[in-house]
Amino acid sequence: MKKWIMILVSLPMLWACDSNEMTGPVYNPADIQVVDSFLDVRDQQKYGCVQIGDRIWMTRNLAYYLPNGSYDDCCTWGEKKLELEDVTLSGEAWSDCALATLDDPAYDWVAEGVDVDDVRKRAGYVAMGLPAAIQLQWFQTHYPTFYEVFSVRLNEATLAVIPEFARPHTEEAESDNGGYSSEYGFLYSYDAACKAVPEGWRLPTDEDWKALERTLGMSEREIEKMHVWRGNGQGDLLKYGSQVGFQTRLGGGNVFDLSKSPLYIRKEENAYFWTATKIQENDSITVGVIRSIALFSDQILRTTTRLENGYRAMMFSVRCVKDVN
C-alpha cells in the first residue's frame, strides 16, 4: 500500500516537469540548413554559413583585424593593449611636423616670440637622429604657444602610423600563442566588435540569440532566464562537430575584474560571445548582454558583463548574423 502511495505522490511532480527538459532538445532539422559561404572582401577571409530558423549565422568567429589592432581593442590571445606611448614617429616625420607647424600661415610665430631659426635647427637635430624628447621639452619651456599647436599636429601624425606598429605587436603575440586567431578569430571589445562586423551583417542582439535558442528547442521559460545556464542540451548543439553546424570553438576571453592587466582565461573551456544588447544598470554603469558555451555544460549561459573596468575593455568573440533575404 505504501508503495502505491509513493507512486501516486510522485506522478504530479513528473507531470509538472517540462518533457523536453527530460528528453533533451527537440527541434525540426528542416529549420537548419547549410547555405552559401561568405567572403569578406576587406581581407579575403571566408566564412561558412548556416541558416537556423529565419536567420543566417557565420559558422566561425569573426577574424577581421581592425587596422589599429589592439590599440582599438582587437586582440589575439594574451596580447597586451598597444598604447599611444608605444608608437613613435621617425625623426624625419617628427621634424616634418615641426616645420609644418612653423610654416602654418594661421600663426605669426615671430610675433609670438618664437625664434624661427632655432626651431628649424632643433627640428633638423631630430631628423638626424637626436632624441626628440629633449627638443620637445625645449619647445614647451621656451615656446609654449608653438608647443601647444605642434603637439596637436604631432599627435595626429602619431595616430596615423599606429597600423605600422599594431600588426607587428599582434604578430608577436600570435607567435607566443600558436596562432590563436586562425582557429578562434580575434577577441573584441564591445565597440571594436561593432566596428569589425562586415557590411550586410550585424552583431547579433539578445533577441537574435533567443531566436536561435528557440529554434533549437529551448522553452520560453528557459529562454527568459538571466545569469544562469539555460536549456536542455542547446549548448551541445552549438559546439564544434554537432549536427547543427554552428561550430563553436572554446576560445576563452579577456574577462572582467578590477585589474589593469588583461585577464585572458578559460581558453578551451568556454566561449564568450558579445550581443549588441546593452543594459543601463545605473547612472554610471552600462553592461552588455553576452552568451557563453562551455565544455562542462550542455546549456547556454545568458548573463551580463561590464564593458570596461576603468583601465581596460572586456574582450570576447563575435559571431555575425543576418536575416534571410
Give residue 21's pLDDT. 57
> Which of 104, 129, 160 finishes a domain?
160
Does residue 170 lie in a domain region?
Answer: no
Q: Judge if 185 and 289 occupy the same domain.
A: yes
- Domain holding 141, by residue range, is 88-160
pLDDT for the residue numbered 22 = 60
Top-confidence residue, 254 or 22: 254
Which pLDDT does position 283 carry in this prediction?
86
Whole-angstrom CA distances from 138 to 5, 129, 131, 196, 312 are 94, 17, 12, 42, 33
Q: Looking at the predicted structure, is the pLDDT value of residue 100 above 90?
A: yes
Do 70 and 105 fall within a single domain? no
Q: Is the domain of 109 the same as that of 215?
A: no
The number of beta carbons lying within 10 Å of the beta carbon of residue 167 is 14
- Hey, what's the cell of 151? 603637439
77 with 114, same domain: the answer is no
- Verify that 153 and 283 share a domain, yes or no: no
Distance of CA 222 to the CA centre of its chain: 27
Domain assignment present for residue 167? The answer is no
Q: Which residues make Cβ contacts (< 8 Å) with residue 128, sequence separation at least 6? A: 91
The rounded distance, in Å, linking the Cα atoms of 91 and 123 is 9
Residues 195 and 125 in one domain: no
13, pLDDT greater than 70: no
Q: Same domain, yes or no, for 242 and 283?
A: yes
Q: Based on the fold, state whether residues 75 and 127 are members of the same structural domain.
A: no
Number of domains in the chain: 2
Q: Does the pLDDT at position 239 exceed 60? A: yes
Sequence-ordered alpha helix ranges (H) in the chain:
2-16, 19-23, 91-102, 116-127, 132-142, 144-160, 162-177, 180-184, 190-196, 206-215, 220-223, 234-237
Is 288 found in the same domain as 150? no
Which SS3 state, helix, strand or coil, does residue 247 take? coil
Q: What is the mean pLDDT of residues 124-153?
A: 96
Q: Report residue 269 as a C-alpha cell.
A: 573551456
Is 273 in the same domain as 129? no
Domain match, 203 and 96 both: no
Phi, psi of 184, rounded to the nearest 5 degrees: -110, -5
Where among 127, 160, 193 does a domain terminate?
Answer: 160
R_g of the chain computed on alpha carbons: 27
Q: Which phi and psi (to 5°) does residue 282 adopt?
A: -155, -170
Residue 166 lies in a domain: no
pLDDT in tens, 41-73: 999 999 999 999 999 999 999 999 999 999 999
Report yes or no on 13 lying in a domain: no
Mean pLDDT, to the nearest integer, of 250-266? 97
On whether residue 15 sits in a domain, the answer given is no
Same-domain check for residues 209 and 275: yes
